[in-house]
Amino acid sequence: MLNDVGQGGSGLNAGACGLIDRFGRHVRYLRLSVTDRCDLRCVYCMSEHMTFMPRKDLLSLEELERLARAFIRRGVSKLRITGGEPLVRKDIMQLFAALGAQLDAGRLRELTLTTNGTCLAQFASDLARCGVKRINVSLDTLDPDLYRSLTRGGALANVLQGIDAARSVGLAVKINAVALRGNTVAEADRLIRFAHDRSMTVTFIETMPLGDTGVDRIEQYLPLDQLRRSIESRWTLSDLPLRTGGPARYVRVAETGGTIGFITPLTHNFCEDCNRVRVTASGILHTCLGQEDAVDLKAVMRSSDEEADLERAIDDAIRVKPRGHDFVIDRNGAPPALSRHMSATGG
């Protein structure tokens, strides 16, 4: 376990939120990227030959914990560990254990993980022991050849084993699938059956134009209203009022009793009730996934040991959180809306 440094700083009561932006949105949800590296190279996320951050720029595990604790003190109650692939970061379970202690102390309400699942079989029981209850696993296809091609080399069997291991230790698993033209319409039924047979929600996500991946985004882009129409021609869907504070809209499938989510950053903007911010593995705070705004919290942490300085930097950044993104996938072959990749920002 990492050092159990004192609370320091302002320290809000559990449940109170000090992070309120100028539009009155309460920021309670932090997505913390612990690495920009990954064992896969998904075609919508990375280029085949990615340049990763210099190691000196990566936050240490101690710095990641310090940062998380500062956000928790300012009112963040939900923390998602992401990347890159979080489970390839060396000794990452030390960070989970330290953050699990925040759960135990009642300072944090939920600790979750987004993973590609390739290393999940190894870490599922440790995650459960650290207090993780729910995880998202990214899985775009159940066809091993297509999986290998979409991930540029990944083995589907590892992910399926990982999902089994996670479920067997009691983790609730959600499946995330990026909707891709030419693949997902044909894959959707299998993914729905696979997920619902195991009481898992499957959520389809529109591709976002983040970073150059060496693949044409127009070729990949499948608007989710098209996918939904296709699914609806075979399954009986009814809209659910369920909102999780996130961008997904949910439907119930009458035939399975299971749930499908749709995340549509391009066809429907979801910014008005956004309650989340992201920190990259190098400590850059992005208060909006789709804007260039950035505050270097690593620089603040490395120049001062004072928790109050770090909290002030966080507060100042939240105050000017942008109203929303303006993603467009442009038919004229425009460059990506943002130069940074999803794997760097933390999905």
Q: Write down the residue that tokens 């993780």 correspond to.
A: 132
Q: Does 220 bind ligand SAM (CB under 6 A)?
A: no
The 65-84 contact track toward ligand SAM, x by CB under 6 A, reads -----------------xx-
The 131-160 contact track toward ligand SF4, x by CB under 6 A, reads -------x----------------------
Q: Which does 41 bind (CB under 5 to 8 A by kind): ligand SF4, ligand SAM, none?
A: ligand SF4
- Judged by CB under 6 A, the residue of 112, 184, 201, 207 near ligand SAM is 207
Stretch that binds ligand SF4, among 39-47, 165-173, 254-262, 270-278 (CB under 6 A): 39-47
Phi-psi region of 260 (alpha: psi -120 to 50; beta: other; left: phi over 0): beta
Q: Does 115 bind ligand SAM (CB under 6 A)?
A: yes
Q: Does 85 bind ligand SAM (CB under 6 A)?
A: yes
The H or E element containing residue 125 is helix 120-129
Q: Does 38 bind ligand SAM (CB under 6 A)?
A: yes
DSSP 39-54: S---TTT--TTPPPPP
Torsion sign over Cα 160, 166, 172, 174: negative
- Judged by CB under 6 A, the residue of 102, 112, 138, 287 near ligand SAM is 138
Q: Name residue 285's beta-bridge partners.
A: 279, 295
d(CA 211, CA 44): 9
d(CA 134, CA 62): 24
d(CA 229, CA 223): 10
How many residues are given for the chain? Answer: 347
The 147-186 contact track toward ligand SAM, x by CB under 6 A, reads -----------------------------x-x--------
Instruction: Tell the smallest beta-carbon distance from residue 103 to ligand SF4 (Å).
Output: 25
d(CA 40, CA 46): 9
Q: Does 77 bind ligand SF4 (CB under 6 A)?
A: no
Q: Please check whether residue 329 is in contact with residue 265, taking contact to mean a CB–CB distance below 8 angstroms.
A: no
What type of residue is 246? G
| Contact residues: ligand SAM, CB under 6 A | 38, 44-45, 82-83, 85, 114-116, 138, 176, 178, 205, 207-208, 210, 342-343, 347
| Contact residues: ligand SF4, CB under 6 A | 38, 40-42, 45-46, 83-85, 116, 138, 343
